[in-house]
Amino acid sequence: MEYDYVIVGAGSAGCVLANRLSADPGVSVALVEAGGQDDKLEIRMPAGFSKLFKTDYDWNYTTAKQGEMAGRELYWPRGRVIGGSSSLNAQMWVRGCQQDYDQWDVPGWGFDDVLPYFQKAEHRVGSNRGGVYGSGGPLHISELRSPNVTTAAFLKACEELGMHRLGELNERSNEGYSPTPVTQDRGRRWSSADAYLRPALKRPNLTVLTGATVERVVFDGLRAVGVEHDGGAQVRARREVILSAGSIGSPYLLMRSGVGAADELRDAGVEIVHELPEVGKNLQDHLSSGVYVECKQPVTLVKAESLVQLARYLVLRSGMLTTNVGEAVAFVRTSPDEPAPDIELIFAPGPFIDHGLTPPTGHGLTVGVVLLQPESRGRVGLSGREPVIDPGYLSSEADVRRLVAGLKAAKKIFGTEAMKPWAGGPMAPYPAPETDEELAQWVRDRGETLYHPVGTCRMGADAESVVDPSLKVRGLEGLRVVDVSIMPTLNRGHTHAPAIMIGEKGADLILT
């Protein structure tokens, strides 16, 4: 099988590419995805995302033992399905702020350069104060249909503490608080597959291969000419191979294909095609901790799985099952010396414990505390048929300090007058730590990923970067990486929105 373009990974960026490249009827496009179809009810149902964790729809990764986090191996869910992680995520549309993109210092990738691509993707349903969002794009951005009553109390608590109310969350500066805009359409998840892939499936020049796990990129000298999947089957590319397999999959495939640090490849028994030492390095992720309290009234998402709520969802597309769980956010600076927010506070009107995999013992509330720009760095390495994931969490003491300050801010929210009718005492497993040392230990013992790994195929104008500003892999021909692995640093937001933007801009770079 031979096509003009072969895209690896039908996640957020991959679906964008499949749509935009196949819009030209004169080219042929193959989209190769390891997972299957996104036809499970829990994918469509916004509140059901944690039910997909550790299933066939999930790569179900585990990190290496983290020495600064009590030696734990942490669970990392990543989507293994059409739509990728946009079929498993909490649907939060959070771009980050202007400084995030300007600080990359990569020509063509400053905030004013990428803003048109965000807006090209967006179709804002409802308010659009100040023209922040685009209109008419394929990706629906809306307000939650049935926000919880306690979410309004959280927003009031932020006001009580003197925070700034944002007109729209995705303004150039996101310092302040806001309800969370979500990628939903009339109460159901609206993934990248819904937005981009399905409208393109009727095109005869687009082929989608599911259940096809790519094992390596095939090279003719230094030119990528296709990919090999599932024991030797090949899909050939006349023009380009494009890796959109994410911050774990893309560097792992490069290394398995002989592109990476020479010593690592030799140790793994991989023949070297091209030495590129930074492949897999620069791994960054949003580490999250949280404060859990009991709720004094039985109004939380603990009731979401009742027959009444299921009927409301199936008949009216309303009720608790339309929640994304993270219903409101606040972006705060832990010090006036910070140039922009360094902590995100996410409010969940329910006890979201252990990725939602631990059943709650009663009604509770959560404020998740997210470290937005960690100083710690990790790596993705090569070990046989499985990647080695070592995020290097808390290898910088400054990261611990910021998370401790964030936990104190979360505790203040629960202590406000606005939260008094709802917030009770500490809820297990939260031990109500008081001192900085106790709070730091709570982070080490129970901190988890917020599912935002980036950076392992770093983009840059420098010769050491993995991809150049046009997303071409340095030193090779016919090969690009188009996903969040190219981000030099993490944004002060979430990564679904940048993934879509990178797909949109990447498609333009390929076509021009």
Q: Is the peptide bond before 429 cis (omega within 30 degrees of 0)?
A: yes
Residue reference for tokens 């290898």: 395
Q: Is 452 a catalytic residue?
A: yes
Q: Out of 140, 274, 286, 452, which one is annotated catalytic?
A: 452
Take residue 253 and report the two structure tokens written for it.
Answer: 């495939």
Name the DSSP class of 360.
Answer: P
How far, in Å, CA of 395 to CA of 432, rounded?
Answer: 25
In whole angstroms, how far apart are CA 280 and each of 156, 258, 265, 271, 427?
A: 43, 13, 12, 17, 39
Pick from 294, 318, 293: which is nearest to 308 by CA?
A: 318
Q: What is the DSSP string of 414-450?
A: HTSTTTTTTEEEE-TT-----SHHHHHHHHHHH-EE-
How open is the CA angle 373-100-368, to the nearest 5 degrees? 40
Determine how many CB atoms are found less than 10 A away from the CB of residue 142: 20
Q: 63-68 contacts: CB < 8 A, separation 24 or more?
A: 63/389, 63/390, 63/391, 64/388, 64/389, 64/390, 66/390, 66/391, 66/392, 66/393, 66/394, 68/393, 68/394, 68/395, 68/444
Pairing of strands 29-32, 2-8: parallel
Distance CA 414, CA 86 (A): 31
CA distances, 350 to each of 159, 291, 300 (Å) = 21, 11, 5
* Calpha distance 29→200 (Å, rounded): 11
Question: Which two structure tokens, joined as six digits, stand for 127?
Answer: 């308010």
- For 30, phi then psi, to 5°, come to -115, 130
| 273 Cβ neighbours under 8 A, 6+ residues apart | 219, 222, 257, 258, 259
d(CA 184, CA 143): 8
Which positions are catalytic?
452
